[in-house]
Amino acid sequence: MINKTVETAINEQIKHEFYSAYLYLSMSAWAEANNLPGAANWLRVQFKEEQGHAMKLYDYIVEQGGRVLLGPLAQPPAEWTSLLDLFQQVLDHEKKVTALITKLYEIAVAEKDYATQIMLQWFINEQVEEEQSATQIIETLKLVGNSGTALYMLDRQLAARS
């Protein structure tokens, strides 16, 4: 049976993961509206990935004999000033998620919940990858600036993500 303190904390993280999905879908809609279909695709893939993260936590609670309780989601932003601004927000958001996962891990340690600590290792590794991916895109956007041709080529590269 899952520890109740850990269960509550994971339920809260499920909400954050679903919010992340909602945020990335909003970002995808902005990219579509701004004629950036590659970025829209990248963000839609990210949306699906975040849903998967939420469901991984959901399934873990169920497997541990706990109860999933879903909380309300805030409305995500809908406007960004540029693709660079958008991806900077992606990175900032991923850093917040990393902090939340770290806090969740600390709760599992304090509660001596070893199974949850092991499960959370996957999320810790995933966050390293998430931050690295966003950082790489930001650095490329800084290099290309507002160059239409370079931005077009980057957008095509982002479209390749599946």
Whether residue 30 has pLDDT greater than 90: yes
The percent of residues above 90 in pLDDT, for the chain, comes to: 94
Distance CA 95, CA 99 (A): 6
Whether residue 146 has pLDDT greater than 80: no
Distance CA 98, CA 15 (A): 14
Distance CA 71, CA 68 (A): 10
Whether residue 145 has pLDDT greater than 90: no
Once rounded to an integer, what is the mean pLDDT over residues 7-26?
98
Q: What are the domain boundaries of the chain?
A: 4-159
At 65-105, the pLDDT tens digits run: 999 999 999 999 999 999 999 999 999 999 999 999 999 99
What one-character-per-residue DSSP string does 34-78 give? TT-HHHHHHHHHHHHHHHHHHHHHHHHHHHTT----PPP-PPPP-
Once rounded to an integer, what is the mean pLDDT over residues 1-14?
97
Instruction: Give, in words, the CATH class of 4-159.
Output: mainly alpha
Name the pTM for this structure.
0.95
Once rounded to an integer, what is the mean pLDDT over residues 19-34?
98
Whether residue 18 has pLDDT greater than 90: yes
User: What's the DSSP call for residue 81?
Assistant: S
Distance CA 125, CA 84 (A): 25
Confidence grade of residue 19 (pLDDT, cut at 50, 70, 90): very high
Q: Mean pLDDT score of the chain, rounded to an integer?
A: 97
